[in-house]
Structure 1
């Protein structure tokens, strides 16, 4: 079933199995939504298996080369939203100078309230991965991850952590919050890797 406009055939081919297309953007999360009056206390830490652990302020993130992307997002709960326009910074530009250790194979994304999700390093470093501050020409709302969220469009959207605060490089796979609670370790929407038993 498709919500909103009925997509053309070529658009249906962009939708993984058992997903419903919507023009809305449902809000799904665990815990509270963080609200910031200002960003003086916000930062993004990069640590773990890196030669140069780094902490970015929000202004320093905005000073990195701007990156834009248009992609589709697919939620593990069964909805897909096509043609999302993002603005932010490419992951490769954020980690350019940290010196990732050759034995680092995974990342663990840390968000507010201790929320985490894991990704293979190669997936995180894909050309399509970015850290976004805006969606469809508007600054992200708190409900959708303001001030910064990951966007990893080839995996189910829970892997695109909202309210990002840290990126940890690791030698082995470490399950994040949802992975510990039954979600798939990888989350490929085309293979319907929704749960750990899939």
Structure 2
């Protein structure tokens, strides 16, 4: 049964219109990608950078990882508090990239054409990372295995599942979810759920 925020003193952590859950709901559109050969998986960083970078799965797993703790808030009104993740900090990833001055935005590209946009400053926050484990377990395919972005200060659709590419852009443009009615930014404490909000 979801915790009652009145009983736990956590009201300030729960955005307006959200309901706490102890579970980890799975919400997506379309099919879930499954990987039989991780030798075919890679992560491409491209766009307004000095040189394109591609990490194989082996290369990505060799990057330093650490633990992250956060709350997550889904646009469909559930919130899950006190998540513990293992992943690669964006700052670690950016040690391999030299940005061009034109880079101001990021598009996160997942499998099957899923994508979502965010300002570069949000991507570079010290709370943003690429997750591989959640609460001690490898991510399941439904939750984004092998790698998902995690941008906890925005609604959870901005934490792109099945990540395959990070594009650095000069100008903002909508990703898949934003083209289909979701807000361009997605601050849960301002209830920026949809483009008509």
- Distance in 1 (CA, whole Å) between partners of 2:85 and 2:102 is 31
- Corresponding residue of 2:64: 65
User: Deviation at 1:61?
Assistant: 1.1
- Corresponding residue of 1:107: 106
- Corresponding residue of 1:189: 188
- Corresponding residue of 1:89: 88
Extract structure 1 runs of 4+ deviating beyond 4 A: none
- Distance in 2 (CA, whole Å) between partners of 1:173 and 1:120 is 7
Q: Does 1:5 align with 2:22?
A: no
User: Deviation at 1:12?
Assistant: 2.1
- Distance in 2 (CA, whole Å) between partners of 1:99 and 1:107 is 14
- Distance in 2 (CA, whole Å) between partners of 1:5 and 1:13 is 14
List aligned pairs for 1:1-198, cutoff 5 A.
Answer: 3-7=1-5, 8-198=7-197
Matched residue SS, 1:31: coil
Kept after mapping to 2: 8 A contact 1:52/1:97: no
User: Deviation at 1:97?
Assistant: 2.1
Matched residue SS, 1:24: coil
- Distance in 2 (CA, whole Å) between partners of 1:161 and 1:27 is 13
Q: How many equivalent pairs are there? A: 196
- Distance in 2 (CA, whole Å) between partners of 1:5 and 1:125 is 32
User: Deviation at 1:9?
Assistant: 4.1
Structure-2-length-normalised TM-score: 0.97
Structure-1-length-normalised TM-score: 0.96
RMSD: 1.0
User: Deviation at 1:159?
Assistant: 0.1
Q: Which runs of 5+ in 1 are unaligned?
A: none
Bigger drift between 10-19 and 134-143 goes to 10-19
